[in-house]
Amino acid sequence: MLVEYPKPRWSDKFLLLDLLEGLKTTLRELFTPKVTIRYPEERMEPADRFRGMFKFSYDRCIACKLCAVACPIDIIYIDVHDEMIEEGGKKKKVKVLDRYDIDVKRCMFCALCEEACPTKPKSIWLTTKTYELASYDRNDLYFNMQELEYWDDRPKYTGLPEAEPQAQLDEPKKQITGGVQ
Amino acid sequence: MNKALMTYLIWPLVKFIIAFIIVQGIVAAMNWVERRLLGLFQARLGPNRVGPWGLLQIIADPIKFLLKEDIVPARAEKIAYFLGPVLPLLPAFIVFCLIPYGPPPTFTVTRVNVGLLLILALTSTAVYGIILGGWASNNKYSLIGGLRSAAQMVSYEVPFGLSIIGVLMMSSSLDLVTIVRYQEVNAWNFIPQIVACFIFLVSMNAENNRTPFDLPEAESELVAGYHTEYSAMKFAFFMLAEYSMMIVNSCLIVTLFFGGWTLGMFGVGLTTDVLNGMGILGGVIGAAIFFTKVMLFLLMYVWFRATFPRFRFDQLMDLGWKFMIPLALANIFVTGIFILAGQERLMYWIGLGVIGAALFYLRPKKKRAPTKVTQKVAHAG
């Protein structure tokens, strides 16, 4: 890439007026809106196709174990048993899911399980908007199937306790949407 | 109590302590102001977590410095190593006795009829601390850093001193009070002495190792230059000296070029006589005007730091010796001619013309042709 700058004027060489131009530019920047997101008080709402934490759907899952096979580090644990049910007078054998655990602390979010899933729509998918996955205990990051399905109901971090007055915000809180594309 | 004792010892001491506390308060606040303002210039927020608006940062930083381990390098020259941070601090503190903060006689600590000369002499000794600190650290890179810094400070001492001479010729006095009183009767010196004011501003930045000239401690390139081996409170002393010198130089430029504690020209406005007529309130107003002007110049330091890229060492020396010194000498020569011809008023018009031209250049206008970006085609073979 070749960048052509504006031709310097004859006066630029000794009058140092471009210094003033620079000062003017930075002064303008002083009053521009700031890009910092003060995290615990403000959060970013990710874009719609943001890839975050897993979500699992028990109803859609057909217990085919393809996701466990696809997983490159074998952290999906599935147990299945067969059950006979009657449907329209005929007896039919169906697989019933007993256990569907993911050891998320070892997960690298490669999404190969999502690709392998044959159901439509997918019964394990990653396009959720959660990115706050940190935990104080590593055992908290082992999810069973109920937890995987309803993890967004768990109590969320809502900032520091009320009793402690927090660092005051200079500007009113703002909701930032679509920051990550 | 003896009257002479009161006049010459007790009152100056009280005044000095008050001025010292105010100035050190500004130094402590500057640390926060600089970081916060620099953040705002760079589309960030700066430190805002400690206390409301991050204001407790002012206290948190000294506590951090006090609690850190004070390391003395092995085989360092102990006495010189200790003197390194103290020597630049002393002249910075002494100079606060000599600056008139408000209308005399109440708001000046001491009135010395060669005050300006004394200030120049004292501030020049700050270089010793830097060389001593660099040498005593027993680290060859600290020594090189110290020498670089000394070379820079000594070089810019020359245009710094020469730019003042124009002001001295105009007001024909070395007394800072007389210089301010000259300015309130005539125009503020930055109008007739616009060139000297520019040189003073530039060499003031170079003297303090501030950003376009901050080679001695180039934050993004070097470890720290001459104070690499210093930690904890000794390092804080270097910082304290640097910020105190910033305030000293801001006080000087306000006194010499921007009318000190007055807010008026040609004998109109808030002049010394008007302020003295109001009694002690007038004095407080004068001091408030003075410190407001000083704060504006301190903010200007931060503004410069946010704007200008760093000079290379040879560019720095070129600017000092090949541009600033000849310009300062030419300024003295031209000022002399105008004074000899008795045409000082003509200099006001020239100064106003220069300021007007600069403002005209900065007028809101359509952008120049945007930077053209063309694809460079790679030729085969």
Q: What is the mean pLDDT of residues A125-132?
A: 80
For residue B26, the distance in angstroms to the closest alpha carbon of chain A comes to 22
**Residue that is written with structure tokens 């993004």 in the block:** B220
**Residue that is written with structure tokens 């020498």 in the block:** B147
Divide the 381 residues of chain B into consecutive groups of 10 and give the mean pLDDT of each group: 77 84 86 90 86 85 87 85 86 86 79 87 87 86 86 89 90 87 85 89 87 78 79 86 89 89 80 79 86 91 89 85 90 91 85 86 68 55 46
Domain range summary for chain B, segments of one domain joined by +: 67-360
**Residue that is written with structure tokens 């709402």 in the block:** A45
Q: Which two tokens stand for residue B234?
A: 């000794």
pLDDT above 60: residue A167: no
How is B202-227 classified by DSSP, letter by letter? Answer: HHHHHHTT-GGG-GGG-TTTSS-GGG
Instruction: Give the end-to-end CA distance of chain A in Å, rounded to a whole number.
Output: 26
Q: Which two tokens stand for residue B272?
A: 């010394």
For domain A45-152, is the CATH number 3.30.70.3270?
yes
Instruction: Check A30 against B40: CB less than 8 A apart.
Output: yes
- Compute, in degrees rounded to 10, the torsion defined by CA atoms A127, A130, A134, A136: -120
Rg of chain B, C-alpha, whole Å: 23
pLDDT in tens, A53-103: 888 888 888 888 899 999 999 999 999 988 888 877 788 888 888 899 999
Q: What is the mean pLDDT of residues A166-171?
A: 50
- B residues 35-94 near A, CB within 8 Å? 37, 40-45, 48-54
Residue A179: pLDDT band (50, 70, 90) is very low
Report chain B residues whose CB lies below 8 A from the CB of A171: none
How is B336-347 classified by DSSP, letter by letter? Answer: HHHHHTT-HHHH
* Nearest-CB residue to A34 (from B44, B304, B372): B44
Query: Do residues B110 and B12 make contact, with C-beta atoms less than 8 angstroms apart?
Result: yes
Burial of A153 (C-beta count, 10 Å sphere; 0-12/13-18/19+): exposed
3-state DSSP assignment of residue A172:
coil
pLDDT above 80: residue A164: no
The DSSP bridge partners found for residue B20 are: none
CA nearest neighbour of B126 among B95, B165, B161:
B95
Predicted pLDDT at A1: 63
- B114: which DSSP letter? T
Phi and psi at residue B321, to the nearest 5°: -85, -35
Cis before A121 (ω within 30): yes
Measured at the CA of A30, the angle between CA B190 and CA B288, to 5 degrees, comes to 45
Quote the CA–CA distance of B127 and B137 in Å, as a whole number.
16
Predicted pLDDT at B332: 92
pLDDT above 60: residue A181: no
Domain range summary for chain A, segments of one domain joined by +: 45-152
Predicted pLDDT at B46: 84
Report chain A residues whose CB lies below 8 A from the CB of B308: 19, 22
Supply the pTM of this predicted model: 0.79
